[in-house]
Chain A
Amino acid sequence: MDWTEQEIQAIVDEHALVLFMKGTPNEPQCGFSNRAAQVLQQLGEPFAAVNILTDPRAIPSVCNWADFPTMPQVYVHGELIGGSDIALEMLQDGSLREMFDAGRDSN
């Protein structure tokens, strides 16, 4: 994994839900990443968690590719929704479920 744009794109294309985070859902290394992982766990759908602390190139590569400067980042059907604050907001108002289901129907 060299964190090229193609490789990052392939990850979000391949999985309906992707979380780029610091650490893992079981061992989160940042409170924001922990909050985002909990949101996706509450959604109850399988998600791919990518630990961006495994390689110092990961954060700048993903942030540049996404044009979004912070971690974590949550992707639904390949589209960035934002960080943990937006993910939580969208879980609570139901729009995360709506967006997930809508994309699943069209695939």
Chain B
Amino acid sequence: MPSYVLNFNHPRKHRLKAGFLYGSTGADMVAAEWVESEVLKAVPEALVEVIDLHGSGDHFHVRIITESFEGMRPLQRQRMVLEVMKHHIPRPIHALDLKCMTPKQAETAGDTAFDPHGGGRGIHINRINRQKRE
């Protein structure tokens, strides 16, 4: 069985801390602060900014800025971070959009956040809307 199907790595207290619990369905939700602390395990020296894209605690855009990405290809940079984060995908984190930049790239990057459901498309948007209504 793939290792990420079962996931015991995220303590329940973080889910309870998340503060955006739409209903008490027990759905996996984590706080942006927890995502940040997990990313920092992979790149301790980095500047990490986490955006909870829908306030649903499972879709995150993460900007990671560090000099140590210099000279690394984009996939190499993400693999560094995913080494830790892959254990949290697909639960509790369903979508993780990583933007790995050097400080120089970050200066000119502007707003990097991309909302995968911005156009109202996607099979998950209904679930999220349902959770918000509850």
Q: Does A28 reach chain B (CB closer than 8 Å)?
A: yes
Interface residue count on the A side (C-beta < 8 Å): 25
Q: Which of B99, B116, B118, B123 has the most CB of A within 10 A?
A: B116
Q: How far apart are the CA atoms of A22 and B95 in the complex, in Å?
A: 13
Interface residue count on the B side (C-beta < 8 Å): 27
A-contacting residues of B (Cβ < 8 Å)?
A: 2, 4-5, 74-75, 78-79, 82, 85-86, 89-90, 95-99, 114-119, 121-124
List the 8 shortest-distance A-B pairs measured between CB atoms, nearest first. A31-B116, A69-B86, A69-B89, A86-B74, A60-B2, A82-B75, A32-B116, A29-B123
B74 near A34 with CB under 8 A, answer no
Q: How far apart are the CA atoms of A68 and B81 in the complex, in Å?
A: 11
Instruction: Report if A60-B122 is in contact (Cβ < 8 Å); known contacts: A86-B74, A86-B78.
Output: no
